[in-house]
Amino acid sequence: MAALLAILIGCLYAAGVYMMLRRSLFKLILGLVLLSHGANLLIFTAGGLTRAQPPIIPAGADAPVVPSADPLPQALILTAIVIGFGVLAFALVLFHRAYQTIGSDDPDELRVSDG
C-alpha cells in the first residue's frame, strides 16, 4: 500500500509542477492544489499506514494499547487542509480580480499593467 501511495504522491507532485509551469494563472492555482494534495498524502504515508485501534488510553492504563494509530499526522493533515483552503480561496479571489482588470490570465500581460 505504501508503494502505491508513493507512486501517487510522485504523480501528484509531477502534475502540480507541470501545471505551475504553464502560461496561465488558473493552471498555476490548479498546480498549487495538486501540490498541496501530494503533501497531505506524503504526511499521511510518513505517519505510518496501520489499521489499528484509535489512540485512546483505556481506563487504568498509562499508554494507548499497542498497536494504535498515531494522531499527530492526522492533526497535521487537518491543519494543512484548512490552510490550503485559505490559500486557495485567496488565490482564486486574486485571480478573479486580475482577470477583471487585465482581461486575460497570461502572466506576461500582468507586467504591462505595472506602471
The mean of the pLDDT values for the chain is: 87
DSSP assignment of 85-112 equals: HHHHHHHHHHHHHHHHHHS---HHHHHH
CA-based R_g, the chain, Å: 20
Q: Which domain holds residue 30?
A: 2-53+66-103
Percent of the chain residues past pLDDT 70, beyond the cut: 96
Query: Which pTM value belongs to this model?
Result: 0.78
Centroid of chain to Cα 70:
20
Residue 41 banded pLDDT, cuts 50, 70, 90: very high
Return the CATH number at 11.
1.10.287
87 and 35 Cβ atoms separated by less than 8 Å: no
Q: What is the pLDDT of residue 112?
A: 62
Total domains in the fold of the chain = 1
Q: What local confidence, expressed as pLDDT, does residue 86 receive?
A: 95
Q: Do the domain assignments include residue 28?
A: yes
